[in-house]
Amino acid sequence: METSRPQAQPRPQAQSNVQVDNDRVRVTEWRFPPGGETGWHAHECDYVVVPQTTGKLELETLDGHTFSTLEAGVSYYRDKGAEHNVVNANDVEFVFVEIEIK
């Protein structure tokens, strides 16, 4: 679900490349330019993120924002449903693979 949120300056958009999409999983590689964002969205499925880069991401939510430092190869799991926007808080490209469990 896409939801528009106002912001001071437009950010570059993260680029997604769906690598697998079948009846059980969707695997997407996300590439964020410096300052790039996904745009506001909510996940319809539980998912796992596998960072390919080490760095800091900003997570904007309806309750505010937080920063998380991710390490290449160290995966994490999230439940479906939370509305958010992911922003690359690094001066270099950030890449992760997202595995949605259908």
Domains of the chain are: 17-101 (2.60.120.10)
Cα 48 to Cα 35, 63, 90: the distances in Å are: 22, 22, 21
Q: What are phi and psi of 15, to 5 degrees?
A: -105, 130
- Condensed to tens digits (0 to 9), the pLDDT of residues 9-43 reads 789 999 999 999 999 999 999 999 999 999 999 99
Mean pLDDT of the chain: 93
DSSP 8-class letter at 14: P
Q: How confident is the model at residue 57 (pLDDT cuts 50, 70, 90)?
A: very high
* Contact call for residues 14 and 35 (beta carbons, < 8 A): no
> Residue 3 pLDDT > 60, yes or no?
no
Residue (of 29, 18, 24) closest to 101 by Cα position: 24
